[in-house]
Amino acid sequence: MEKRERRSALAGAAFLMATSAIGPGFLTQTAVFTGKLGASFGFAILASVILDIGAQLNIWRVIAVAERRAQDIANMVAPGLGTLLAALVVLGGLIFNIGNVAGAALGLQALFGVPLAAGALASAGAAVGLFLARDAGRAMDRFAQVLGFVMIALTLYVVATSRPPYGEALLRSVAPLELDWIAVVTLVGGTVGGYITFAGGHRLLDAGISGRAALPEVSRSAVTGIVVTSVMRVGLFLAALGVVSAGFVLDPANPPGSVFQHAAGEVGLRLFGLVIWCAAVTSIVGASYTSVSFLRTLSTRVEARQRATIIVFVLLSSAVFLAVGRPVQLLVFAGAANGLILPLALGAMLVAARRTAIIGDYRHPLWMSLFGWAVALGMAAMAVYTIVTTFF
C-alpha cells in the first residue's frame, strides 16, 4: 500500500468511527443533557472522553494484532461469545440506524421543506449509491472526512453566535454542581458502545492495516477518532449552554434543532438541517457497514454478498422508520443500550490480549490492560446503576 493511500485509510477509519458516533442520537443526547445539567454536563463529557480512549485503544490494538474481526476474536475467547456479540451489535446498529434515517429526513425537511418520507428515501438512496461505487471503501473514507469537517465547522459557527459562558463551562467540567452517571453511560455508549468503536477497527482490517508493525499508526488513528468526536461534542455542548444560559427552553420535540434556531435564528435552523443530515447520512453508512462486518464471518452468504447485505440493511432501517417514526426517547435510550454492550465487548478483547493462541507473542501493555479493565468494570457498574434507577 502506498504511503498516501495508507494515510488516507488511517484518517478514513478515524472519521468513519467519529461520524458513526455523531448521528442524530449524538446531537439529541448532547442537547438534552445540557438542558438538564447545564455547565455541569462538561464533567460528564470529560469523564466519557477518558473512558472512550481507554476502550478504543484496547479494542483497536487487539483487532490489529490478532488480524481478526471482533466477533472471531470473541469466539476464540469463549465459543458462542462472538455470535452473541454480533447479535447484540447488529440489533443495536439497527436501532441506531432507524434514528439515523429519521435524522436525515428531518435534515432535508429543515433545509428544503422536503416531506419526511421523501427525505428518508433520498438519504437512503445516497448511502446505497456510495456502496455501489467501484471502490466503496475509499469512497466511504472520503465521504466521512468531508462531511465530518462540514459538521464541525458549522457547529463552531453556532457556538460563536450563542456566546456561551466559557469560564463556567471550564470550571464545572472539573467541579460539577451535579453528577449524573446515566449521562456518562449514555455518552460512552453513544461514542464507543455497540457497533461504533468497531467501525474504524474493522475498516483498518479491511484496508490491510494490521499486525504488530502497524500498532503505532492504529493507536494514533484510534485516538484521532475520539478527538474528532469530542470536538463535535464540546462544540454542541457550548452552543446549547449558551442558549440555555440566555434563558431559552429547548424544544423537547427537537432539542438540537432549537439550539441552532435560538442561537442563529432562521439561518441557524437551516444550518441545523445541514448538520443533522451530514451526521445522519454518515452514521447510516457507518452503522450499515459495521453491522454487516459482524455478520460476514458468521455467514458465508453474507461474506459472498457483502454489498447487497449492506444495502438491504439500509433499506430495512428506512422501512422501519417510515412505519414507526422517530421518538427522541428512542435515540437517548439507544445510546444507553449500546453502553451496556461495551463491557462485554471490551472484556472479551482484554481476555484475548492475554491469549497467545490469539495474539501470538505480542505483549499488550500492562497499563493499557489495567486502563481497559477499569473502563469495562466501571461501565458495567454504571450500567447496573442505570438499569436499577430507570426500571426500579
Q: What share of the chain is helix, strand, coil (3-state, %, to 5)?
A: 85, 0, 15
Mean per-residue pLDDT, 137-143: 90
Assign 300 a pLDDT band (cuts: 50, 70, 90).
confident
CA distance 264 to 272: 10
For CA atoms 358, 363, 368, 369, the dihedral sign is positive
- Is the per-residue pLDDT at 339 higher than 70? no
- Measured CA to CA, the distance from residue 260 to residue 153 in angstroms comes to 13
DSSP code of residue 39? G
Looking at residue 325, its pLDDT comes to 63
Question: Cα dihedral sign for 35, 36, 37, 43?
Answer: negative
pLDDT digits (tens, 9 = 90+) for 162-221: 999 999 999 999 999 998 888 888 888 778 887 888 999 999 999 999 999 999 999 999
Confidence category of residue 375, pLDDT binned at 50, 70, 90: confident
Q: Give yes or no for a contact between 369 and 74, defined as CB atoms under 8 angstroms apart.
A: no
The predicted structure's pLDDT at residue 78: 96
What b-and-e string marks burial along 242-271, b requiring 16 or more CB atoms within 10 Å of the CB?
bbbbeebebbeebbbbbbbbbbbeeebbbb
Nearest to 201 by CA among 76, 6, 17, 1: 17
Which of 92-96, 220-224, 257-261 shows the lowest mean pLDDT across its residues?
Answer: 92-96
> What's the whole-number average pLDDT of the chain?
89
User: Residue 71 has what DSSP assignment?
Assistant: H
Q: What is the pLDDT of residue 309?
A: 95
Contacts of 194 (CB under 8 A, 6+ apart): 88, 89, 92, 93, 96, 337, 338, 341, 342
CA distance 198 to 374: 20
Q: What would the DSSP string read from start to end of 145-214? A: HHHHHHHHHHHHHHHHHH---HHHHHHHHHS-S---HHHHHHHHHHHHSTTHHHHHHHHHHHTT--SGGG
Q: Residue 336: pLDDT above 70?
A: no
Is residue 333 pLDDT above 70, yes or no? no
Q: What is the pLDDT of residues 67-87, one digit of tens each?
A: 999 999 999 999 999 999 998
> 360 exposed, middle or buried (CB, 10 Å; 0-12, 13-18, 19+)?
exposed
DSSP secondary structure of 46-112: HHHHHHHHHHHHHHHHHHHHHTS-HHHHHHHHSTTHHHHHHHHHHHHHHHHHHHHHHHHHHHHHHHH
For residues 245-254, average pLDDT:
89
Please give the Cα distance from 233 to 227 (Å, whole number). 10
Cα dihedral 349, 17, 84, 341 in deg (nearest 10) = 80
Q: How far, in Å, are 27, 146, 199, 214, 324 from residue 284 at the CA level?
A: 15, 15, 12, 28, 17
Query: What is the mean predicted confidence (pLDDT) over 304-310?
Result: 91
pLDDT of residue 378: 83
Distance separating alpha carbons of residues 254 and 237, to the nearest angstrom: 15
- In this structure, of 220-229, 260-269, 328-337, the range with the lowest mean pLDDT score is 328-337
pLDDT beyond 60 at 57: yes
Task: Give me the CATH number covering residue 352.
Answer: 1.20.1740.10
Domain count, the chain: 1
How many degrees, rounded to 5, is the angle at CA 46 between CA 386 and CA 188? 40
Q: Which residue range is the domain that position 197 belongs to?
A: 3-391
Which tens digit of pLDDT belongs to each residue from 141-163?
Answer: 899 999 999 999 999 999 999 99
- Residue 284 banded pLDDT, cuts 50, 70, 90: very high
Q: Report the distance separating Cα 46 and Cα 237, nearest Å.
A: 12
What is the pLDDT at residue 225?
Answer: 96
Band (335; pLDDT cuts 50, 70, 90): low
Whole-number Å distance between alpha carbons of 76 and 60: 17
State the cell numbers at 28: 439529541
